[in-house]
């Protein structure tokens, strides 16, 4: 199973400001995603999109032959 999330890098100007947004230490980010997905034998890729923004893909070996 692969899960993929993409954005255009523009953000959402209609969203209310989030307290602490942009502060360092608010989570574990991509490193945390990689660690958690690796626990299940999967992998995570993050890459910039050609027109801006990023795509993050997580592959989990659910339903795949061992």
Return the residue matching tokens 């209609």.
14
Give residue 14's pLDDT.
Answer: 73
Length of the chain: 66
Statement: residue 54 has pLDDT above 70: yes
Give residue 9's pLDDT.
Answer: 87
Give residue 25's pLDDT.
Answer: 54
Give residue 20's pLDDT.
Answer: 54
| 3 state DSSP class of 55 | strand
Contact 56, 30 (CB under 8 A): yes
Pairwise pLDDT comparison (48 vs 66), residue with the higher score: 48
**pLDDT, tens only, 7-48:** 998 877 776 655 555 555 556 889 999 999 999 999 999 999
Start-end of H helices in 1-66: 29-39
Contact 7, 62 (CB under 8 A): no
């Amino acid at each position: 199973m692969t899960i993929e999330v993409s954005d255009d890098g523009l953000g959402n100007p209609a969203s209310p400001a989030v307290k602490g947004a942009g502060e360092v230490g608010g989570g574990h980010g991509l490193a945390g995603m990689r660690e958690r997905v690796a626990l299940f034998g999967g992998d995570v890729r993050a890459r910039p999109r050609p027109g801006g923004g990023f795509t993050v893909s997580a592959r989990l070996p659910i339903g795949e032959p061992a």
